[in-house]
Structure 1
Amino acid sequence: MSWQAGISLLVLVCAAYLAHRHWPAVAAGVARLAGADRGWLLVAAVAAGATWPASALAQQGAVARQLPAAKLVAAQFAACSANHLLPSGLGAGAVNLRFLTRCGLPLTRAATALAVKAGAGTVARGCLIGGLALACPGVLRVPRPPTPGPAWTLAACAGTVVAAVVAALFLAGPLRRALRRVLLDVRAVHERPARAAALWGGSLAFAALHCAVVIAVTQAVGLPLPPARVALAFLAASSAAVLLPTPGGIGSLDAALAFALTLAGAPGGAAASTVLGYRLLTAWLPLVPGLVTLGVLVRRRVL
């Protein structure tokens, strides 16, 4: 965990440095957000609040057993706040794991349910990116790589073969058994159409609602970008931010989203105000109520 804490600290320091260096744009973003359209901000707040029921729906879809709906939504709300205290989603994972085991699931079954939900969320995000890219051709421009020489081609093939052999040897142990359990749970979920619909519908809704929050904030601050381009920028930024283990994506998601919006054509001040508005509605305002909910759930032995 020490290396994760070190990386998190490094990302936060870099984010603070970038904020200091581009402070005029940040200040302009704050001023622009203060004068934003209240109606669009209300739409963004409603979309942000709907992300927790969507997350609960996806978690229910990953479990064959019926879970208590109200407690499940409350657990997702608490997990969102806990996720801002630990890196790489460990806070949300720990809360959900504890909730599922309290509901009577064995530890291994609860862990595979979290893996199923995470996998469905990744696939749903990829489907949204693909659909938006097809609907808006030319938005995602991938530069054509140069043609590699024979030596590089041979080295790439050798590296691929070595990686495949190492992966095969590694999968022969405990990871292979864990993967088998996940696949069995995936099959069990999809044998029940209602659970499969909840899993995929909740996963798609969760990603789409976060896009809706960002789009509504851009409309509130008058950002002159099409909604589809804004959604693509957010999905690309949030996918990249997953690679950096900061608590709740603080610093990594902020920088990635501001960079993606700027590349999409947004002015610096408008991009900063969009990031600030998104963070305010999805992280800072729910943080204290979420921690209070977490304490209540722990006290009532729901967690």
Structure 2
Amino acid sequence: MPAVFGGVDATGAAAVAVELTRTPRRLGPRRTRLRVLAAVGVVGIVGALVGTRFRSDVLGTLSDVPAPRWHWLVACLIASVLFYVAHGVSVRAASGLRMSLGTATASQLAAAAANRVVPAGLGAIAVHLRFLERRGMTRPAAVAAVASIKGAAILLHLAGIALVAGTLRGSGVGEAVTAPVRMTVNGIGAGPVAAGLAVVGAGVGTAVAHPRVRTRLRPALRGFRAHLGVLARSPWRTIVLVTSTAATKAAQVMGLACAVWSFESGLSIASITAVYLVGSAVAGAAPTAGSVGAIEPALAIGLTASGGTAATMFAAVLVFRLISYWLPILPGVTALAMMRRRGDL
């Protein structure tokens, strides 16, 4: 779940292009389950070691945090469920395929499970492509459908930041959220960072300009443009796609808001929305699966800058991530295995 530009960045775009030239591989549910369980086990072991090492410090810091109010936690869980349902609606609208909402939602849970293992959203992209191809779409059309969802998410995310820009002025939220990025760049040095970006850009540009790559991509790009043209000539599908994608963003914001309000009700929905949109955009640059390790401090720092108590906001973010990100792993693995047995993956 988070979401968060949905893992769409230069790395994700390059991976989608590479996917056009590859032969689809069958996804083994047993291997996927083992990988997910192994990842969960490693995270659990590391968490236990860190918790044991810093147990006294953590308990001292969290001793003043009030107990969460359970009705808000239930609301956070409902918002997380609605996120996957809305995502399923967007898949149906983008693809134009006839499928039940349950099947579309199950595909999103399966993609989320894969996304917990593979960084930068590539696991979800691979599952989406495989699912749409198994439903009868060609590879270029499937890529176009996924790209339309991701593109709508990016545009809506930017529009959301523009709408809450007034909330950011003078609040310190933007500065607090982006401070870790600035500190990292300053620590590495502007020169090395610019050189690294130049190398990545040159590598991507060289690969795209290669005649063999262009020859293999040309038919796929024609199909890609054709599918986007069909989508553009279908106003109803476009409206449903944009609305459902906006609903995924709203569900994520409401999930965070409910987690925050379960501990402390002083923050407004406008401030929480601003923190989520800016924090998730900044954390989206992290090369980890689901921006783990980047989005948590970004959200906690932003909420604290908005007026929340540091320890309380940290606890609220952890609860939000537990419900929206880690809890769907088990139903996601189940959906992955079920869809594999039915031939949907």
Q: TM over 0.5, yes or no? A: yes
**Aligned residue identity for 1:88:** A
Structure 1 residues 158-169: aligned runs within 5 Å: none
CA-CA distance at 1:134 after TM superposition: 4.2
Whether the 8 Å CA contact 1:55–1:202 is kept in 2: the answer is yes
How big is each residue's C-alpha offset from its partner over 1:51-101, in whole Å with a ceiling of 9 and x where there is no partner? Answer: 001111112221233334321111111211221111111121111111100
Aligned to 1:147: none
CA-CA distance at 1:169 after TM superposition: 11
SS of alignment partner, residue 224 of structure 1: coil
Aligned to 1:261: 303
**Aligned residue identity for 2:234:** R
Corresponding position: 1:85 with 2:127:
no
SS of alignment partner, residue 120 of structure 2: coil
1:110 aligned residue (142, 154, 157): 142
1:191 aligned residue (226, 233, 245): 233
Q: Could you say if the C-alpha distance between residues 245 and 293 of structure 1 is closer, same or farther in structure 2, counting changes exceeding 3 Å?
A: same
Whether the 8 Å CA contact 1:30–1:276 is kept in 2: the answer is no
Corresponding position: 1:239 with 2:281:
yes
CA-CA distance at 1:176 after TM superposition: 7.6
**Aligned residue identity for 2:246:** L
Corresponding position: 1:208 with 2:250:
yes
CA-CA distance at 1:46 after TM superposition: 0.7
SS of alignment partner, residue 106 of structure 2: helix
Structure 1 gaps, min length 5: 5-11, 144-162
Aligned to 1:160: none
Q: State the Cα RMSD in Å.
A: 3.5
Q: How many pairs are equivalent?
A: 274
SS of alignment partner, residue 88 of structure 1: helix
CA-CA distance at 1:18 after TM superposition: 10
Stretch moving more, 187-196 or 22-31:
22-31
Aligned to 1:130: 162
Identity in percent? 27
Give the distance between the partners of 1:213 and 1:98, measured in 2 at CA: 29
CA-CA distance at 1:128 after TM superposition: 1.4
Aligned to 1:153: none
Stretch moving more, 201-210 or 15-24:
15-24
Q: Could you say if the C-alpha distance between residues 141 and 114 of structure 1 is closer, same or farther in structure 2, counting changes exceeding 3 Å?
A: closer
How big is each residue's C-alpha offset from its partner over 1:6-35, in whole Å with a ceiling of 9 and x where there is no partner? Answer: xxxxxx9xx9899978984687459847x1
Q: Could you say if the C-alpha distance between residues 105 and 220 of structure 1 is closer, same or farther in structure 2, counting changes exceeding 3 Å?
A: same
Whether the 8 Å CA contact 2:168–2:174 is kept in 1: the answer is no
CA-CA distance at 1:190 after TM superposition: 2.5
Give the distance between the partners of 1:275 and 1:26, measured in 2 at CA: 17
Whether the 8 Å CA contact 1:213–1:278 is kept in 2: the answer is yes
Q: Could you say if the C-alpha distance between residues 283 and 31 of structure 1 is closer, same or farther in structure 2, counting changes exceeding 3 Å?
A: farther
Aligned to 1:98: 130
